[in-house]
Amino acid sequence: STPRVPIMPPSRQPCAATRVPRGPLSLLLALSLLSPWGSAGGSCPPRCVCASNLLSCSQANLSAVPAPLPRFAAVLDLSHNNVTRLRADWAPARLPHLHALLLSHNGLAFVSTEAFTHVPRLRHLDLSSNRLRALEENLFSDLGELEVLLLYNNEIATVDRTAFENLGRLRKLYLGQNRIARFPLELLREGTRLPQLALLDLSANRLRAVPAGELQALPAWLRDRLYLHNNPLACDCLLFQLLDRGRRRHLSAVEDFQDELRCFLPGATALVRILDLAGRLPLNCSRAQEAVLEAHLGDSVTLGCDSRWQGVRGRHWVTPGGERVLGDGGNGSVVLLANGSLQLRALRPEDAGTYSCWVAGPLLNETIYVELLVHNFTLHGPHDTLNTAYTTLVGCILSVVLVLIYLYLTPCRCCCCRGGEKPPAPRDDSINSSVLSATPNHAGAAREPCGSHVASGAGTGQNGRFKGGGTPPPPARQGPKAQRKVSDPDSVSSVFSDTPIVV
């Protein structure tokens, strides 16, 4: 007989969907369902190790980037392989989540300018220890969110200033151990191309000169991470003063590499320590003061608190008189700005002195000293004084010259100057002259004063009469005859009526 199989009621029959498989195979199946590298997220490339969103293909003897790459990979490590060329198609699809790409130790010699088009979210890019020779134009311009760029230990000799275009978030740039003879340091000076750069490593290159004056103008938090050691720099006093200030401020780039900061003296073959140039021939460099600011009376100046700590909020100033400035001070003449600078308005002589800025840093406190010199005149005072003195001097010289001309070069008015001159002879064709002319009295004329001869000689007209430039004084006569009456020279009748006729 056929045995009967008991049939369980439907309410007590187990459901297949609720069965949990047991054993190693079931565990791997469950992990594959949970892992992003399962069927829903793609497969892990061969020779690589995948863990969550991390993809490690290091030391896998790869000559090209493996494909396909899962689109949600966040970290891709391709270091220690043989990927010598990074073309534009190494990532054919967009990888929106990739934020770290490691390509060190690959013998990489070529990187396409379009190699980073599909990875715009990169924040960390490691191209160190390769064979790159140049940084071409706009090489990293697609990486607007890049923060760390490692290019050390390559063969880079030329750097195009547009290679770092659009890197507004770059914080650390490592270019040490290359062959760079000139780096476009104007990228730092402008402050708009790399506004957040806080570390620049140019050590162990071929730099022979750096603009020390421009570097001194950089903020201290950037100079604290500007590495220039192991370069064949030419010795210069400005360079010495730049590094000497850094040593006194305990900047890491100077304090940690004092022995490696060396330079060439003119005519010497061996390198010398830059910080030993103080008082050393032939340069005989002198130590520079920390910060000195010059101003004039009535000016408004701003004293910067140049701290080596970036983004510090807690700081205050102490005036030369010992007063602590936390906000507006005095009658609004001293103002603490939002960026930590101290503004002084309408300077007075008593505002001169040494101001100190106290900064509370994340590791330790720092004090910055700024010396203010206030000149005891306005900004245009020296020029006005010079102009006034020059005008006064010229006026005095002109006065002396005019006096000398008046004394020695004026026409002589004495009677001896014109003693040899003869009065003009009377014209024969004049009736008036024959009637009016009188026989000159030589005896009397010899006793006449000199002034009468000058007046009559200078003012006689064609008929011998005096012109209307003024009436000459009457000559004084001695003897029995009375003095003649002066007549009107313009009237003939008056001449006949007033002048006696000598028979």
Rounded to the nearest integer, the mean pLDDT of the chain is: 76
Which part of the chain has CATH 3.80.10.10? 49-276
CATH superfamily of 293-375: Immunoglobulins (2.60.40.10)
Q: What is the pLDDT of residues 41-99, one digit of tens each?
A: 457 888 899 988 999 999 999 999 998 888 889 999 999 999 999 999 898 888 999 99
- The predicted-structure confidence for 423-438, as pLDDT tens digits, reads as follows 555 544 444 444 334 4
**Structure tokens that stand for 309 in this block:** 């700590």
Ranges for all domains in the chain classified under CATH 2.60.40.10: 293-375
Interval 268-295 mean pLDDT: 82
Instruction: Report the C-alpha gap between 90 and 88 in whole angstroms.
Output: 6
Peptide bond into 282 cis (omega under 30): yes
Q: What is the C-alpha separation between 357 and 315, in angstroms, rounded?
A: 7
Averaged pLDDT, 322-344? 77
Rg (CA), the chain: 51
Q: Is the peptide bond before 96 cis (omega within 30 degrees of 0)?
A: no
pTM above 0.75, yes or no: no
Task: Compute the residue count for the chain.
Answer: 503
Distance of CA 401 to the CA centre of its chain: 50
| Topology of the domain covering 49-276 | 3.80.10
> What does the block give as tokens for 280?
């050393």
- The predicted pLDDT at position 386 comes to 52
Contacts of 433 (CB under 8 A, 6+ apart): 426, 427, 463, 464
Give residue 8's pLDDT: 46
